[in-house]
Amino acid sequence: MDEILLTHPINPEELLWFLSRGFDEPMYRVKNNSVFRAFKLGEEKFLVRITPGIRSVKIEWLYGDRTEEQVAFVKTFISEWFDLEADIAPFYELLKTDDRLHYMAEDFNGLKLVGMPDLFEALAWAIMGQQINLTFAYKLKRRLIEKYGDFIEHEGEVYYIFPSPEAIAAADSDDLREMQLSGSKVTYLKNAATAFATGKIDKAILKALPDFVSRQDLLTSQKGIGVWTANYVLMKCLRDQTAVPFGDAGLLNALLNHGIITNKTELQNMYALFEKFKGWEAYLVFYLWRSLAPRPKVSKAFSPD
């Protein structure tokens, strides 16, 4: 059993609820207070059980060889996925200064920004989800993964691994369109996959760029990647707090729900709010998205003290 010890506590109940909130997510499975996810490093595939606690995250190897390299890879992935190293106490202090949002500091306490550590997965997901609802976007994602991704079978269940850029770059366009991907999305997805497969874009290249504008420019230089897509990817994968996907339908609905804007074209109040949360803009987006999916009150089992 491997373990990640946490400097800053998390709320495992809130995290597990968020991960299992009703969409057909094919990349992991939540059951028995744990998350089951398959990985591939080089040619080696492995399956782990991830059990989050308030002060630590336990990792159990279920399938495949366990090497030190693989353990380090999984620990890094989980830490980025759940933003485990972030101290979000300053964000809560900002929330408490706003009468419309202060409840979030208590209701969502301990929830970190759930990201997408795999840059290609994040970009492909953003492309597939453009201008469609989440339910249909998840259907497209499952179709793509089941056809082009790798998988592990364990105890009668199949655990999928996101397709490589090379697999999508080589995919037949007609096959992709048969999945109900539009012609433009097929083009954008294959172009992005080719950029990854040829080394034009990868996570290390983006991280090495000097600032947000440079990273955004590299992504938007690819056909089909607009500002919203680039900002979503930079927010979810690189944790760039300034990468706000302004214009996002869910974000606008949450702002309307909280009385921050009165219509979706009202920009001044929205920008004023994000100015107050400078340095925590991405967390504000995430918590506003979180507010769109309320759940019944649960017992206060979480206590960071």
Residues 154-205: tens digit of each pLDDT:
999 999 999 999 999 999 999 999 999 999 999 999 999 999 999 999 999 9
pLDDT at 224 over 90: no
Are 125 and 116 in contact by the 8 Å Cβ rule? The answer is yes
Q: Binning pLDDT at 50, 70 and 90, where does residue 295 land?
A: low
pLDDT the model gives residue 293:
85
Are 111 and 14 in contact by the 8 Å Cβ rule? The answer is yes
CATH code of domain 1-85: 3.30.310.20
CA angle 113, 117, 118 (to 5 degrees): 145
pLDDT the model gives residue 131:
80
Q: What's the CA gap between 179 and 144, in Å, rounded?
A: 8
Q: Binning pLDDT at 50, 70 and 90, where does residue 82 land?
A: very high
Q: Are strands 56-63 and 150-154 parallel, antiparallel or unpaired?
A: unpaired
CB-facing half-sphere around the CA of 225: CA atoms within 13 A: 26
* Residues designated as active site: 248
| Total-model pTM | 0.93
Q: Binning pLDDT at 50, 70 and 90, where does residue 130 land?
A: confident
pLDDT the model gives residue 299:
46
pLDDT at 78 over 70: yes
Domain ranges of the chain: 1-85
Helices marked H in the chain: 12-19, 68-81, 89-95, 104-107, 119-128, 134-148, 165-169, 173-178, 183-197, 203-208, 212-220, 227-238, 249-257, 268-276, 281-290
